[in-house]
Amino acid sequence: DVKVTQSSRYLVKRTGEKVFLECVQDMDHENMFWYRQDPGLGLRLIYFSYDVKMKEKGDIPEGYSVSREKKERFSLILESASTNQTSMYLCASSFERGASTDTQYFGPGTRLTVL
């Protein structure tokens, strides 16, 4: 089974703090993604990566950055957390396009509260 894990289920931070959300997948997937989920808005793509050290902006990248130093790990960074970044954050991974499936597999999510 594909396994995508996220470092924390719940996280509480203060405004202005630097926040790291970590995601690890164990299926040697090339692609990894970060989404945020808010009630009534569904999931929105923040950033994704198709290879080590490669990244692409999604629909809502403002206020976020990412890091992918190893294939299995993809980090989401909030340089200076703000209250409007309080949300559920979901990580996902998938095989490279052209393989038999482009299905994205999701982690359990991190509920971040910024006070």
Partner 1 sequence: AQTVTQSQPEMSVQEAETVTLSCTYDTSESNYYLFWYKQPPSRQMILVIRQEAYKQQNATENRFSVNFQKAAKSFSLKISDSQLGDTAMYFCAFMKRSGGADGLTFGKGTHLIIQP
Q: How far is the CB of 15 from partner 1 (least distance, A)?
A: 25
- Structure tokens that stand for 15 in this block: 């405004």
Backbone angles phi, psi at 19, to 5 degrees: -120, 135
> Which chain residues interact with partner 1 by CB under 8 A?
30-31, 33, 35, 40-45, 48-50, 56, 58-59, 88, 90, 92, 94, 96-97, 101-106, 108-109
Q: Cβ 72 to partner 1, closest distance in Å?
A: 16
Residue type, 49: S
CB of 16 to partner 1, least distance (A): 28
d(CA 65, CA 20): 10
